[in-house]
Amino acid sequence: MVSRLTSSGCLRSRLAVLIALLAPVGLCAQEEPVKPMRVPFDVLKTQHIVINVKVNGKGPYRLIFDTGAPVTLINNKVAKEADVFGKDFKRPAFALFGALGQVKIKTLTVGDVTAENIPAMVMDHPTVDAISNAFGPIEGIVGFSFFARYKMTLDYQAKEMTFVPTKFEPPDMLDSITKSIMAGRNNPKKKILAPGGLIGIKVKKEADDMDAGVTIQDVFAGSPAAAAELKTGDRLLTLDGRWTDSVLECYEAATMVRPGEIRVVIKRDGKELTRTLKIQPGL
Amino acid sequence: MKYRCWALALLLGSTIPVGADDPPPRADKAKAEQIQVPYRRTMTQHILVRAKINGKGPFNFIIDSGAPLVFVNTAVGKKLGLDVDPDTNAATLDRLEVEGGVVLNKVRVRVETPFQLEGMNGMGLAGAELHGILGYTLMAKFKIEVDFTKDKMGWTLLDFKPPPPQGIGAKAAAAAGGLEMMGTIMKFVGFLYGTKTTPDMAPRGFIGIELAEKGADDSKMVEIKAVLAKSPAAEAGLKVGDRIVEINSKTVSSLADVQRITAESTAGQTLQLQIRRGTEKLDIRVAAGEGL
């Protein structure tokens, strides 16, 4: 346990140094265009999306674009050609499917979109290989670590994606998984659902009540809920577009709200009504 | 730990081939307005949306262009009593409603548990139980917009009949099949680690005060703007205009401080407030109640 923690901490600090060294390059090189950058794509017969990607200026290579892939992945051939391994890169002693670990791609270019310092895995993924064998060369997968940096649209009819850079910094999946497993083991306590503002209701649901929504048990006088004319006995169906089918779900939805206007849908006397609620800071 | 994690993670949530072909899905008619679909990111950085099947649920689905079909896991299929073709595992959902207001009728799905889902659920990796995957056949019906600085996606129905995906053939699928065992392995690892698919949850306690930040940078304070009648705050004697100096011995100078300090307190727990009322300093204990 201790040794694991140490090695994970060590890895992370090494990674931190790497990021610190690379950061200035990223800062001065990028200018943010406002117009969405269009990227046309092809689909394979399997309907997987294929895009042309340049890795560190090399290529283009054909990669699958995958909204369900948390990481970006390139095969060993591309990794070699594009020279993604830094000088300090250490090959792991054991490489399942030729998996050589995490690297940073200096520039990943998709159409007019160039992203810098994209974390990626180097691996000859068996599924990608199988698809590659069936439908021509496919050299990897473009995933979350790339597309999460952008406001993205995906349109299969137009066979086109668009990208606009945002301020979002995609967290490293490995870090978040490592943390969550560690947290889960060391700290088995409950997750507390804290509403993001004051609404002013108490809700309930009986164990044998299988209908949609929760029942409003109480509306506090003078609260945002009272101002929106919610009433005791109303059935709360959605809060800010989220289902509230159990008391905990209702709180879960409330964790996402912030002070300001939201819409709620209630059922009263068999009719669905939409009300606007002005959430206040408070608790 | 980290190395092992990613070796497993590599095999997750990526591209799924289909062994055999599936009949084309039916297109649905609806207005072409952008529907706001709430989503969240799982700990594995998958896009998770919730959906009800035939009015039951909600169930958790990941949005995955690497999956050619809609997958519903076997346990959910059984629970819903879906009529599953024993040869192809295909079934038709009468109604699929995605949270936010996307309603689709007669949706063709595959009732199977891809090893990625089994693995993630087995290790509790995502932080929520995953019940299925919304893949190409559903995604392609919409223009989908996602911005990770927002908590909702935009889905606009297209007037488009997505062509059906073709399989890569039994032989090629078998070649990729070496990964199937990963799900089982990860489930076993999860069992050893004692990981839970879904964490236990509890609501935060309710106080019944509206708050406002007062003052500029250095002298910022949090003031009580309203005290709700019959709330724990009213019972404890908090008053409009009271300034919160400390909660549980931690200094408060912003709304964010209040949110952070109280984030873990549940109903029944007592908050210790230090209040400035005029020139007086008061210590007031508030027993948090139920509500939001």
The ipTM of this complex is 0.82
Sign of the torsion angle spanned by Cα atoms A18, A19, A21, A25:
positive
B149 and B257 fall within a common domain = no
Closest-CA distance of chain B to residue A282, Å: 4
In a domain, B223, yes or no: yes
Predicted confidence pLDDT, tens digits, chain B (292 residues): 444 444 444 444 456 665 544 444 444 444 579 999 999 998 888 999 999 999 998 999 999 998 989 999 999 999 999 999 999 999 999 999 999 999 999 999 999 998 888 878 877 777 788 999 999 999 999 999 999 999 999 999 999 999 988 876 655 555 555 555 555 666 666 555 555 667 789 999 999 999 999 988 778 899 999 999 999 999 999 999 999 999 999 999 999 999 999 999 999 999 999 999 999 999 999 999 999 9
| Minimum Cα–Cα distance from A223: chain B residue | B228
pLDDT per residue rounded down to tens, chain A (283 residues)? 333 333 344 444 443 433 333 333 333 344 445 689 999 999 998 899 999 999 999 989 999 999 998 889 999 999 999 999 876 666 666 666 656 677 889 999 999 999 999 999 888 888 888 888 888 899 999 999 999 999 999 999 999 999 999 999 998 777 776 776 666 555 557 889 999 999 999 999 999 999 999 999 999 999 999 999 999 999 999 999 999 999 999 999 999 999 999 999 999 999 999 999 999 999 9
Q: Which of B16, B172, B212 is closest, CB to CB, to A281?
A: B212
CB-CB under 8 Å, B207 with A192: no
| Contact across the interface for A126 and B143, Cβ inside 8 Å | no
Of B165, B200, B262, the CB nearest to A190: B200
Alpha-carbon distance of B24 to B10, in angstroms, equals: 31
Q: Which domain-ending residue is among B143, B158, B193?
A: B193
Chain B residues touching A181 at Cβ < 8 A: 1, 5, 123, 125, 193, 195
B133: chain A residues, CB-CB within 8 Å:
68
Q: Each residue of A119-155: b (16+ CB within 10 Å) or e?
A: bbbbbbbebbbbbbebbeebbbbbbbbbbbbbbbbbb
What's the angle, vertex CA A201, arms to CA B154 and CA B233, rounded to 5? 125
Distance CA A210, CA A221 (A): 29
List the domain boundaries for chain A. Answer: 28-186, 201-279
| Cα of A25 to nearest chain B Cα, Å | 24
* B268 in the same domain as B227: yes
Q: Are A48 and A57 in contact (CB under 8 A)?
A: no
Whether A133 and B17 have beta carbons less than 8 Å apart is answered as no
The parent domain of residue B243 ranges over: 209-287
The CATH number that applies at residue B153 is: 2.40.70.10
Which chain A positions have a beta carbon within 8 Å of B36's beta carbon? 241
Tell me: do B216 and B188 sit in the same domain.
Answer: no
Domain match, B56 and B183 both: yes
B196 contact residues in A (CB cutoff 8 A): 184
Claim to verify: residue B39 and residue B144 sit in the same structural domain: yes
Estimate to the nearest angstrom the gap between the alpha carbon of B53 and the chain centroid: 17
Of the candidates B38, B143, B166, the beta carbon closest to that of A241 is on B38
- Classify B214 as helix, strand or coil: strand
Domain A201-279 sits in CATH at 2.30.42.10
Q: Using a CB-CB distance cutoff of 8 angstroms, which residues of chain B are in contact with residue A121?
A: 6, 10
B168 & B76 share domain: yes
Nearest Cβ partner for A48 among B15, B163, B199: B15
pTM over cut 0.90: no
Q: Which of B44, B68, B133 sits opposite A46 (nearest CB)?
A: B68
Per-residue pLDDT tens over the stretch B226-285: 999 999 999 999 999 999 999 999 999 999 999 999 999 999 999 999 999 999 999 999
Q: Which CATH architecture has domain A28-186?
A: Beta Barrel (2.40)
In whole angstroms, how far apart are CA A220 and each of A230, B223, B286? 10, 20, 17
Q: What is the pLDDT of residue B193?
A: 57
Task: Say yes or no: B107 and B150 in one domain.
Answer: yes
**Residue B216 sits in a domain of what CATH number?**
2.30.42.10
Indicate whether B180 and B272 sit together in one domain: no
